[in-house]
Amino acid sequence: MRALRKKAHFVSCMRLALLLGALGLWEGAARLGLINTFIFSSPSRFLATLCRLAAGGELFYHVGVTLLETVLGFTVGTLLGTAAAAALWWSPTLSRILDPYLVVLNALPKIALGPVLIVWVGAGMKAIVVMALLVSLVVTVMTVLTGFNETSEDKRLLMRTLGATRLQTFIKVVLPASVPAIVSALKLSVGMSWVGVIVGEYLVSKAGLGYLTVYGGQVFKLDLVMASVIVLAVLAALMYYGVSALEKSLLKKRGER
């Protein structure tokens, strides 16, 4: 256990050292004139931009807008995706009918539907949330459905032998056994939701981190672009680690049982 703790500590230290080293090289190259700070910016410049935005309250407003859209898209996508996967598991015939359509929808570049969504739901938060939903929904359905279908056939046969209904089999056996698959779907959905929201903000938003990125690029304020990207990376990582913490908690409870 001591060796494992030392190894985990070493990995964490190396991760931090790698990040700090990359930022240090970036800053050093900028100060020595090896890179053009107007094009590539630098850590000190985008940190100054972040401080300025935070002092004026703009940063928290744009972060709040993007977080709200992402959480809505993530939550609705997860619930609808899990429900759709359950319906497809319930009816293998329906699953076989819809399987090619799910594959096509998963491969379709969702940004191509952006102009259509704007016409259908309007240019605002609704279009952005729907975009996030489209990006994450199909992935969630396919991942969770795979978990449902991989449940041990012996366990399902035992439940049928004991006279359990299909609903009882699903609740007592299939759903608990698919917890790892559902958590994997959550991890994928986190990233997909962020992608969908940022794509939506690129198209129609007047607020949010995606809007700041587009605006910064249009007016050649690369410090603003980099600051927005860094905040996005931090928020996405925090959301991902939140799902990972949920996974550890669920697996621990299952082990105790």
Q: How many CB atoms lie within 10 A of CB 237?
A: 11
Structure tokens of 80?
A: 């609808």
> Residue 199, SS3?
helix
Residue 207's contacts (CB-CB under 8 Å, 6 or more residues apart) are: 61, 62, 65
How much is the pLDDT for 256?
A: 46
pTM of the model: 0.75
pLDDT for res 74: 84
Q: Where are the alpha helices (DSSP H) in the chain?
A: 2-31, 37-40, 43-56, 58-90, 92-107, 114-121, 125-149, 153-161, 166-169, 175-177, 179-204, 209-218, 222-256
pLDDT per residue rounded down to tens, the chain (257 residues): 777 777 878 888 888 888 888 888 888 888 888 877 777 777 888 888 888 888 888 888 888 888 888 888 888 888 888 888 888 888 888 888 888 888 887 777 777 777 777 777 777 778 788 888 888 888 888 888 888 887 777 777 777 777 777 777 777 777 777 777 788 788 878 888 888 888 887 777 777 888 888 888 777 777 888 888 888 888 888 888 888 787 777 767 665 44
Q: Can you tell me the distance from the alpha carbon of 228 to that of 212, in angstroms, rounded to the nearest whole number?
A: 7
pLDDT 10s digits, 158-192: 777 777 777 777 777 777 777 777 887 888 788 88
Q: Which amino acid is at 172?
A: K
Cα dihedral sign for 160, 165, 166, 171? Answer: negative
Question: Domain coordinates of the chain in residue numbers?
Answer: 1-35, 41-256
Is domain 41-256 given the CATH code 1.10.3720.10 in the classification?
Answer: yes
The pLDDT value recorded for residue 91 is 83
Q: Tens of pLDDT along 122-168?
A: 777 787 888 888 888 888 888 888 888 877 777 777 777 777 777 77
- The answer to whether 117 touches 196, Cβ cutoff 8 Å, is no
d(CA 225, CA 234): 14
How high does pLDDT run on average in the chain?
80
**Amino acid 61: pLDDT:** 87
What's residue 99's pLDDT?
82
Q: What is the pLDDT of residue 255?
A: 57
Tokens representing residue 116 in the block: 């259509």
Torsion angle of the four alpha carbons 215, 113, 116, 123, in this order, in degrees rounded to the nearest 10: -30
* Cα distance between residue 197 and residue 192, in whole Å: 9
Picking from 246, 129, 140, the residue whose alpha carbon sits closest to that of residue 197 is 129
Residue 257: the pLDDT is 45
Q: Which residues contact 85 (CB under 8 A, 6 or more apart)?
A: 140, 141, 142, 144, 145, 148
Neighbours of 15 (CB within 10 A): 10
Cα angle for residues 48, 17, 43 (degrees, 5° grid): 15
- CA dihedral angle for residue 228, residue 26, residue 44, residue 197, rounded to 10 degrees: 0
Alpha-carbon distance values, 57 to 42, 52, 54, 77 (Å): 23, 9, 5, 30
